[in-house]
Amino acid sequence: MTIVTTSGLDGNDIGLTANSFNSVSLTPPLVLWSLKKDSLSFDAFVAADFFAVHVLAQDQEIYSSRFASRGVDKFADLNLARGPGNIPLLNDCAARFVCKTAFRYAGGDHEIFVGEVVEFDHSDLPPLLFHNGKYAKLLQVELETNTDITTEEEMSGLDQGFLITLLGRAHTQMQSKIRTELSCRRLTINQYYLISLLGSFDNRTLDQLRDVLARAEMEVNDEMVEDLINKNLISYDPTSEHLTRLTTAGQKLLMELASLSKDIENHALEELDFDQQQSLKLMLLEIITTTDPGPPASWPSKLNQLTNNTRCGG
């Protein structure tokens, strides 16, 4: 659970509870979150040059409830620090990202804010995620009341219960909007994955990037790379160990597509409460960790953890 804060147009402290926080890129360090356009705080965040995202610790549940409420003094009796633009900073959180507003993207009834991280603090405190036992109970109820999940698809009674079938169907349905956007930009889904991978692991060789994508059965050929170079989305230096990196235009495109992906995720999860969303993500991460065959041989050993963190989503 996170709280996002900023300073309003009148100098007042603004803050709200948000569950839409995600990282976008490591180089440069970018994060995003989304806010409904009918929010009372919307105008303040649109006008703000800086904001802060606080990942709450387990013992800060009271803050989550307070900042989700209307008509209360959310900052009453809080020991605050101050950041750039005089934004209020909460203390004793699991993590805190102080950000400069880099980009805003309209996503349906939401506005998606992308921030460049200018300061980062973290502690060893466990984050506020869920209550003991609640996720398992909620998941059980959801499965029991939604057993007839097929529509008109020709799926056998055996196949419809397979995890691999459910994951594949969810992936295909969520990815369709991304494919439509890519088609408008004359890009392929594999090119999108390459751009997304460079957002987390910039300045890598083409062989290293291809090895990672090959694990997901995605081929990046020379023609795809040449097309991205011609579109000024990536740069490729054959004289320097064939290192590849995103251009400024490529970074901007990545932010736009990441914002679109986040909006698709928000709509896909809107029928689930925060606890269910976190439970789903944690269980998927556990499956990924359990089935991960390890990093490609071309990656240095100190980067062995990269494939667990690669965000080729959409």
pLDDT at res. 267: 81
Q: What's the CA gap between 125 and 277, in Å, rounded?
A: 21
- On whether both 183 and 71 belong to a single domain, the answer is no
Structure tokens at 52: 């802060």
Write the CATH number for 261.
1.10.10.10
Residue 166: closest CA among 150, 145, 182? 150
- On whether both 97 and 214 belong to a single domain, the answer is no
Provide mean pLDDT across the span 174-185: 87
Its pTM stands at 0.58
- On whether both 304 and 163 belong to a single domain, the answer is yes
Provide mean pLDDT across the span 178-184: 88
| Of 305 and 97, the one with more pLDDT | 97
Binning pLDDT at 50, 70 and 90, where does residue 12 land? Answer: very high
In terms of residue numbers, what domain contains 278? 159-309
Q: Is residue 212 part of a domain?
A: yes
- On whether both 84 and 178 belong to a single domain, the answer is no
Does residue 28 have a cis peptide bond before it, meaning omega lies within 30 degrees of 0? yes
Residue 178: closest CA among 108, 266, 263? 263
| Of 5 and 214, the one with more pLDDT | 5
pLDDT tens per residue, range 77-100: 888 999 999 999 999 999 999 999
Structure tokens at 100: 């400069």
Q: Which residues pair with 25 in a beta bridge?
A: 30
Q: Is residue 142 part of a domain?
A: no
Containing 137, the helix (H) or strand (E) segment is helix 134-144
pLDDT at res. 129: 60
Residue 169: closest CA among 154, 187, 191, 188? 154
- On whether both 206 and 294 belong to a single domain, the answer is yes
Total domains present in the chain: 2
Considering the chain, what is the average pLDDT of its residues?
78
- On whether both 111 and 166 belong to a single domain, the answer is no
Q: Is residue 274 part of a domain?
A: yes
Q: Is residue 80 part of a domain?
A: yes
- Mean pLDDT check: name the lowest of 31-40, 66-75, 173-182, 201-210: 201-210
DSSP state of 127: B
Binning pLDDT at 50, 70 and 90, where does residue 295 land? Answer: low
pLDDT at res. 141: 36
- On whether both 173 and 106 belong to a single domain, the answer is no
Q: Is residue 114 part of a domain?
A: yes
Residue 278: closest CA among 67, 88, 64? 64
Q: Is residue 164 part of a domain?
A: yes
Burial environment of residue 104 by CB neighbours within 10 A (0 to 12, 13 to 18, 19 or more): middle
pLDDT at res. 142: 39
Distances (CA, A) of 63 to 8, 74, 134: 20, 8, 20
Write the CATH number for 16.
2.30.110.10
- On whether both 226 and 92 belong to a single domain, the answer is no
Provide mean pLDDT across the span 275-290: 84
- On whether both 116 and 34 belong to a single domain, the answer is yes
